[in-house]
Structure 1
Amino acid sequence: MLLEGKTVLVTGASAGIGRAVAIGCARHGANVALNFSRDVDGANAAVAEIEALGRKGIAVQGDVSDPATATAFIAKAVEALGRVDVFVNNAGICPFHAFLDMPVDTFERTMKVNLHGAYFMVQAAANQMVKQGDGGSIIAMSSISALVGGEYQTHYTPTKAGLHSLMQSVAIALGKHNIRCNSLFPGTILTDINKDDLADQAKRTYMEGRIPLGRLGQPEDLVGPTVFLASDLAQYVTGASLLVDGGAYVNLQ
């Protein structure tokens, strides 16, 4: 119960990594507010699981690409749950596309959701933490794609590198308020964002063969690292990053 008494906010939490993290934090004692964009049924089901664990949970719908969504999410979470102790920026999209004919709207939408949305969400959460006066933890769900390239991810990888850079800078800006800011770098995790790409069994087998631990990741693999960074066990960890990729990044041979 590493998060007993804490309130955790997670964006993009109706499915995938966000949902797993939201429920995982509840298992560790937290009350949870989750943001979602479209999947009402998924968000409500996640809240039901959180409440079944004896914790408070709410779901707030909103598109993170709109800066107004950030202030609304924080306000509604505070109204329902009282405060913000941990903020997990997870919402993101990756519409795979080639570089040379990248549509302007695909590029701009990816930037607005993944990076601009993160900026304003983190800013809103940080302002609430500063107002409370007793610190907090901000965690950005970056990606191994912040460190390596991707032929069909030229619009996506810069956003994930930008997320980590944002965490490094806000770690400095918010340190005096005892707000810790860190990044997680998931590897290939089986979620809706890549299910079509990994429907090719040959590609999936190849990817699995490149991972020292011998398997692709599951959303639940991000729960432990998130809970650690959210908890008091990480009270002297800020501006840091943690790979959660089964060893894929280091497997260069």
Structure 2
Amino acid sequence: MALPSARLLRGKTACITGGTTGIGRAITLEYLRQGANVAVNHLGLDADERHRKSLLEEAQKLKQQGAARCRLGISLRWRAMLRILRLDGSWWRKLAAEFLTLSKQQFDRTMEVNVNGTFYSCQAGAQQMVKQGKGGAIIGISSISALVGGGLQTHYTPTKAAVLSMIQSMAIALAKDRIRCNALLPGTIHTQLAEDDMQNKEKKAYLEHRIPMGRVGKPEDLAGPAVFLASEEMSGFMTGSQMLVDGGMFVHLQ
């Protein structure tokens, strides 16, 4: 369910990495609905071209409905996108593997994407914000996996803990520049990455049993919290914070 179009991000510009699918896509559309100009970075894979086109189509529908009077741009080149845009808003990224047989290639690749990718994109965004001198907000997508272990996720959970720690340290480093840095920690969310689990009835039932609210999350469940953290009026004194969006999964110990 979409939020009311209260134009909470009117006049803001947001850059979102990986915004053509899943959580990034849901946040992109909500930011547009709330009046932000949005630039989306994506990989440009042939298999994802349909997602890029459908995102542009959905953005156009928002304009036709009068819910958004803003612009959407999609780029393959992150640094080039930052140079072109006036950036003053917020922005924004096989999971199971046996520990004993986990390959160096898979471990290194996961680190490279989730840790290195987050660091360098956050750094580039922060540099642009400092240059503009207007402050801003950086929102890192960590995970409930930053707080708990997973026997088949020894390559993945450390990267999400790293994102959370990175955001906390960035919050200290950038506070003098009026740049707020916070993290969203999604629980189990039904994105394309979780499709196999969602098709497995036993696995889905197990996950739903662990979530007190009785259902797996949707990408749209992250959109409201992302708007909240992007809005200086609503979260202007928050930095270095972590926000769980998990339906109560983390606190369900028994």
Shift of 1:198: 3.1
Report the 3-state secondary structure (helix = DSSP H, G, I; strand = E; otherwise coil) of the residue aligned with 1:166.
helix
Q: Does 1:50 align with 2:59?
A: yes
CA-atom RMSD in angstroms: 1.2
Moved beyond 6 Å, runs of 4+:
none
| TM-score normalised by the chain length of structure 2 | 0.90
Name the aligned partner's letter for residue 43 of structure 1: R
**Is this contact kept in 2: 1:34–1:43, CA < 8 A?**
no
Tell me the residue number matched to 1:41: 50
Tell me the residue number matched to 2:4: none
Tell me the residue number matched to 2:81: 73
Tell me the residue number matched to 1:85: 89
Shift of 1:194: 1.5
Q: Does 1:31 align with 2:37?
A: yes
Name the aligned partner's letter for residue 151 of structure 1: G
Tell me the residue number matched to 2:251: 250
Structure 1 segment 188-203 matched on structure 2, within 5 A? 188-203=188-203
**Is this contact kept in 2: 1:71–1:124, CA < 8 A?**
yes
| TM-score normalised by the chain length of structure 1 | 0.91
Shift of 1:96: 1.8
Larger displacement relative to structure 2 (196-205 or 104-113) = 196-205
Report the 3-state secondary structure (helix = DSSP H, G, I; strand = E; otherwise coil) of the residue aligned with 1:86.
coil
Tell me the residue number matched to 1:64: none
Structure 1 segment 58-137 matched on structure 2, within 5 A? 58-61=73-76, 69-76=77-84, 78=85, 82-88=86-92, 91=93, 95-137=95-137
Larger displacement relative to structure 2 (35-44 or 225-234) = 35-44
Tell me the residue number matched to 2:236: 235
Q: Does 1:9 align with 2:15?
A: yes
Structure 1 segment 135-214 matched on structure 2, within 5 A? 135-214=135-214
Q: Percent identity?
A: 47
Ranges in structure 1 where 5+ consecutive residues have no aligned partner: 62-68
Ranges in structure 2 where 5+ consecutive residues have no aligned partner: 1-6, 64-69
Larger displacement relative to structure 2 (49-58 or 214-223) = 49-58
Deviation digits for residues 103-154 of structure 1 (CA, Å, limit 9, x no counterpart): 1111111111111000000000000000110100000010000001111111
